[in-house]
Structures are given as structure tokens and as C-alpha cells.
Amino acid sequence: MLRRPRRNRKSEAVRNLVEETSLSVKDLIFPMFLVDGAKKKVAIDSMPGIYRYSIDTMLREIESCMKLGIQAFDVFPAYPDSLKDTIASESYNPETFYLKALREIKKEFPELCLMSDVAMDPYSSDGHDGLVKDGKILNDETLEILARMSLAQADAGVDIIGPSDMMDGRVGYIRELLDESGFTDTSIMSYTAKYASAFYGPFRDALDSAPKFGDKKTYQMNPANSQEALVEGDLDTEEGADFLMVKPALSYLDIIKLLNDNFPLPIAAYNVSGEYSMIKASAEKGWIDNDRAMLEVLLSIKRAGAKVILTYFAKEYASLLR
């Protein structure tokens, strides 16, 4: 035999020489959950190792993550029902705890990259990402609310706006308002191909943001479809997105590759709560090795073409490297 591929696997040193994909802490964004109040660090039962933080404890957690090399964070707010209404008006209240927290984070750590979430569901009494009327999710009427939300978050100092709602035309609508208001440097990481997935369950537990009726299949994508992701990618690119995101990641590696092969923008992928929790649950049972499974999953997402990975494993991965 003239060709023996095993020769390039014969030692760790040789394997490292020919390794095709590398993963760095710099590739990762750490999603975090914020609650109102002080001195709070509340465990999320369905996401072992992940917590809801008040702003004081979140600042200290961010500090510890930055010492491990994590430079980017995506903060999601958990609102009580008492502050929710049908038009998500709390989302652009300048005195709301989420916007105040974003300002505090950027004031204390101006060097970090701060990402925020744009969608109605954390603030909506209906639990949907868009405005609801007669049981239907209204698209165009939702855009103004999303744009006001985005403007408020940009004013609070965020570096990257993350529209996760999947309303048609929202990237262009948000981009136009941000530019008109002087926030030309605020980036948009569009949730371009966000699928109607079963893997969001633990996240909705964390935010108590599950829809109060029906499902999200009229705006989130059908898991059976891939070509539709190209349509969404075309639109978001034309409308001014700076990143295109695929969510979830692990069951949609083909979509990550599809977007990476067809668009010049950096591709992000969200390694979502259900993907995280199924590894944690299996590891707790002793069925799989937690660290090896974590590394394999993150490498697969990077290998598929993601330049940026949002993952709840970020701190754990960074700690493992140390």
C-alpha cells in the first residue's frame, strides 16, 4: 500500500500538524440570563451549570469569564408577567432593568463585545415574537416595535443587535432607523435561519417566555427546508446584516455550510439550550464523557463553517483550556 492515512494519525504531535479545524475562545459568545433585583444567582434546573443573574452578580460573572479569555456576551432578560403587555412596551422603556444593566456592563467593561436580543416574546403577554391580533402574528406592524427596541438597546451601548424574531423585512427596518439615529457602528447579527425547533425548551424555561397559545411555525422556519435559508440569507444581506446566524446549530450543520458557501458575511451559529442540556443530562447519567462531547460538538459547528458560536459551554470550554 503506497497510501496509508494512518501515518498522519500516529502521534498527537503529527495529528496536531495536520489538524484542519481549530477552535478558540475568541470564536465564542456566552449567552447569559438577567433578572431584576440584587444579589441573585438562581440555578436553571433544565440547564445544569447555568444561572439567572441580577446585574451585580452578572458583573462579577462577566469579570471571571473575561479572565478566562471570553470577550463577547449576549444578555437575555427574564421579565415578570407584571411588566408584560401585548405591545412589549417595557422593551423600550429607558428605565427598564434590562437597558440599565446593558449600560452598566458597558460602563464597567467597555472593552467587551456586548450583544442584545431583539424580539417581543420576553416582554409580551402573548409570548410571541410579534404583535398578535385575532390569533395571528402581524408582520409589518411588529417592525416598528422591534426598531424602537433596537434603538433603545443601541443607545444603551450594545455592540451587536440580535433580531431573533424572524419577521420579514426587520433587518432593513432596524438598519435604517439605527443609521438615521446616528448608530451607524452598531452591528446587526440577524437570526437568518431560525428553525421551529424542539431544542428551545430549556431556554423558554429560563425566560418564562413560552407562547401562551399555538406555536411559532408561521414565522420560524420548517426543519425540513434548506433552500429557504438561502432566500432568508439573500434578504438579510441586502438589508444590511453584518452576520448571518443559524439556530439551532447541531441539527443544522448543513445549513451553516450552505450559508457559509454562498455568502461573504461571517456565519454565526447558536448552540442552543436543548443541545447543551442533552449533553449535560447524558453526562450526569454517565452515558457520555461531558468534556469530549462538548469539544466534539463545538468543533463540528466550527468545521461546518461557523465563524462565531453562541454557546452555554463558553465558560466551561475556556476553563478546560486553562
d(CA 60, CA 51): 13
Per the annotation, the verdict on 280 as an active-site residue is: no
d(CA 175, CA 186): 9
Which long-range CB contacts under 8 A does 63-69 form with residues at least 24 apart?
63/109, 64/315, 65/30, 65/314, 65/315, 65/318, 66/109, 66/112, 68/25, 68/315, 68/318, 68/319, 68/321, 68/322, 69/25, 69/26, 69/318, 69/321
C-alpha separations of 322 from 19, 51, 176 in Å: 21, 22, 43
Length of the chain: 322
Those residues with Cβ within 8 angstroms of residue 273's Cβ, 6 or more apart along the chain or in another chain: 46, 47, 199, 200, 201, 202, 203, 206, 312
Burial status of residue 292 (CB atoms within 10 A of its CB: 0-12, 13-18, 19 or more):
exposed
Is residue 232 annotated as involved in ligand binding?
A: yes
- Of 194, 280, 302, 315, which is the active-site residue? 194
d(CA 88, CA 162): 17
Q: Which three cell numbers stand for residue 113?
A: 463585545
Backbone angles phi, psi at 17, to 5 degrees: -60, -35
| β-bridge partners, 99 | none
Per the annotation, the verdict on 194 as an active-site residue is: yes
User: Which of helix, strand or coil describes residue 116?
Assistant: strand
- Of 84, 247, 302, 315, which is the active-site residue? 247
SS (H, E, C) 124-138: ECCCCCCEEECCEEE
Residues 47 and 202: beta-carbon distance below 8 Å: yes
Neighbours of 62 (CB within 10 A): 21
Residues in the annotated binding site for Mg(2+): 232
Residues in the annotated binding site: 232
Active site residues: 194, 247
